[in-house]
Amino acid sequence: MTIFTPATSANLGPGFDSLGLALKLYNEVSITEQKISSINIIGEGSDKIALKKNNTFVNIFNETIASLNGKSLNYKFNFVNNIPFSRGLGSSSSVIVGAIAAAYYIAGFKVERSVILNKALQYENHPDNISPAVWGGFTVNIVSGDSVFTQRTDIDSNLKAVVVIPDEPMNTKQSRGKLPANYTMSECVSNLSHAAYLSSCFIKKDYDNLRLASIDKMHEECRMSALPELFRVKEVAYANGSLMSTLSGSGSSFLNLTYDDRAQALAQALQSEFSKFRVVILDIDNDGFNIKS
């Protein structure tokens, strides 16, 4: 079997730890049973020996499949990693969701997305990253007890993501540690109202108001200060047709949404201004992880 798990972009400005969407950039893992376990990696991490000795996907897969049927068999894992590490595009969430879903499938259990999502919460307590990898599209998420509750909607095919990917990674834990311990009432109300309005814009497909809706007062500027060029990324994006320009997850990637007929020009403007960064145009994924036999 082969599982494809999409990249995700979390927070989306004011939706701190609650809003996210899925992108058509996939990590691909093929798994076959064999006598001796083996790991082969193509793409991101292929040069890291540690990933073959202590692989998170394999560890979570083995833990999950053992909990389901009590068996620990040997498998050949072929990884094609397309999602950059530590760039705010959900590489760790792709690993977690993919490993759990694959284990359920190979163990012969029904792969129920709500079950996979709640199992993933045990490894990643930020649902804005794992939920889009499971459901696809735009997701609004809350955690109650040990469960994630999600509302989702598809994104129109004429909306494209133009993603700026710096070569400098950002550590999520360190980035979060730099955030303020306290916020003012005004900052909290601003984020609550903008996150609610942003959700409504996506659900009603009112994409023209995304710029207003995506204003954040809690985390973006603090995180962007670690890589000051990101402030200029937002300026250039809005000057060249972006509907919404936000830090992707904790960074360092920047998510820009625009209409299909503006995507190429926006990407060219960003690439011209930031030649050291990678700029890619991606479709929105509306399906979440996909398993093929």
**Domain identity same for 48 and 28:** yes
Look up residue 27 and give its two tokens. 């990590």
Please determine, for residue 177, whether its predicted confidence score (pLDDT) is greater than 90.
no
Amino acid (one-letter) located at 110: K
Q: How far apart (Å, rounded) are the C-alpha atoms in residues 245 and 161?
A: 10
**Domain identity same for 27 and 163:** no
**Residue 171 banded pLDDT, cuts 50, 70, 90:** confident
Does the annotation flag 241 for ligand binding? no
**Domain identity same for 172 and 115:** no
**Domain identity same for 163 and 104:** no
**Domain identity same for 179 and 123:** no
**Domain identity same for 56 and 167:** no
Does the annotation flag 87 for ligand binding? yes
**Residue 261 banded pLDDT, cuts 50, 70, 90:** very high
Does the annotation flag 190 for ligand binding? no
Does the annotation flag 86 for ligand binding? yes
Does the annotation flag 288 for ligand binding? no
**Domain identity same for 7 and 149:** yes
Q: How far apart (Å, rounded) are the C-alpha atoms in residues 243 and 245?
A: 7
Q: Distance from CA of residue 20 to its chain's centroid?
A: 7
**Domain identity same for 116 and 256:** no
**Domain identity same for 142 and 233:** no
**Domain identity same for 166 and 259:** yes
**Domain identity same for 201 and 124:** no
Does the annotation flag 88 for ligand binding? yes
Look up residue 126 and give its two tokens. 């930020």
Does the annotation flag 293 for ligand binding? no
Does the annotation flag 91 for ligand binding? yes
Does the annotation flag 176 for ligand binding? no
Which domain CATH number covers 254? 3.30.70.890
Q: What is the model's pTM? A: 0.95
Q: What is the pLDDT of residues 73-104, one digit of tens each?
A: 899 999 999 999 999 999 999 999 999 999 99
DSSP 207-254: GGGHHHHT--SSSHHHHHTTSTHHHHHHHHHHHTT-SEEEE-TTSS-E
Q: How many domains does the chain have?
A: 2
**Domain identity same for 80 and 130:** yes
Q: What is the pLDDT of residues 143-163, one digit of tens each?
A: 999 999 999 999 999 999 999
Q: What is the pLDDT of residues 109-126, one digit of tens each?
A: 999 999 999 999 999 999
* Domain that residue 59 falls in: 2-154+286-292
Q: What are phi and psi of 124, to 5 degrees?
A: -140, 110
Which domain CATH number covers 86? 3.30.230.10
